[in-house]
Amino acid sequence: MTDIRSVSTTALRVLGIETSCDETAAAVVVDGRKLLAQTIASQIETHAQFGGVVPEIASRRHVQTVTRVVQQTLFKAGLTWGELDAIAVTQGPGLLGALLVGVSAAKGFALATGLPLMGVHHIAGHVAASFVGSSLQPPFLSLVVSGGHTELLTVNEHFVFHLLGSTKDDAAGEAYDKVARLLGLSYPGGPKVDALAAEGDPTAYHFPRSLLGDGSLDFSYSGLKSAVANEVIRQRRAGRSVNVADVAASFQAAVVEVLVEKATSALQQTGVNTLVLAGGVAANRGLRQALHRRSLQQGFHLVVPPVELCTDNGAMIAAAGYWLYQSGRFSDLELNATSSLALQDWQAASGV
C-beta closer to ligand KG4: residue 83 or 294: 294
C-beta closer to Zn ion: residue 30 or 144: 144
Binding of ligand KG4 by 312 (CB under 6 A): yes
Binding of Zn ion by 146 (CB under 5 A): yes
Binding of ligand KG4 by 189 (CB under 6 A): yes
CA–CA separation, 206 vs 253, rounded Å?
9
Total residues contacting Zn ion by CB under 5 A comes to 2
Binding of Zn ion by 23 (CB under 5 A): no
CB of 205 to Zn ion, least distance (A): 29
C-beta closer to ligand KG4: residue 92 or 279: 279
Work out which of 92, 279, 305, 314 binds ligand KG4, going by CB under 6 A.
Answer: 279
Binding of ligand KG4 by 177 (CB under 6 A): yes
User: Which of Zn ion, ligand KG4, none does residue 283 bind to, with CB < 5 to 8 Å depending on kind?
Assistant: ligand KG4
Binding of Zn ion by 150 (CB under 5 A): no
Binding of Zn ion by 130 (CB under 5 A): no
Binding of Zn ion by 313 (CB under 5 A): no
Binding of ligand KG4 by 191 (CB under 6 A): yes
CA–CA separation, 233 vs 240, rounded Å?
10
Binding of ligand KG4 by 311 (CB under 6 A): yes
Residue nearest to ligand KG4 (CB): 280
Work out which of 131, 159, 176, 207 binds ligand KG4, going by CB under 6 A.
Answer: 176
CB of 13 to ligand KG4, least distance (A): 25
Site string for ligand KG4, 107-146 (x = CB under 6 A): ---------------------------------------x
Binding of Zn ion by 177 (CB under 5 A): no
Q: Print the SS3 string covering the chain.
A: CCCHHHCCCCCCEEEEEECCCCEEEEEEEECCCEEEEEEEEECHHHHHCCCCCCHHHHHHHHHHHHHHHHHHHHHHHCCCHHHCCEEEEEEECCCHHHHHHHHHHHHHHHHHHCCCEEEEEHHHHHHHHHHCCCCCCCCEEEEEECCCCEEEEEECCCCCEEEEEEECCCCHHHHHHHHHHHCCCCCCCHHHHHHHHCCCCCCCCCCCCCCCCCCCCCECCHHHHHHHHHHHHHHHHCCCCCCHHHHHHHHHHHHHHHHHHHHHHHHHHHCCCEEEEECHHHHCHHHHHHHHHHHHHHCCEEECCCHHHHCCCHHHHHHHHHHHHHCCCCECCCCCCCCCCCHHHHHHHCCC
30: β partners? 13, 34
User: Which of ligand KG4, Zn ion, none does residue 116 bind to, with CB < 5 to 8 Å depending on kind?
Assistant: none
Positions in the binding site for ligand KG4 (CB under 6 A): 21, 146-148, 173, 176-177, 188-191, 194, 279-281, 283-284, 311-312
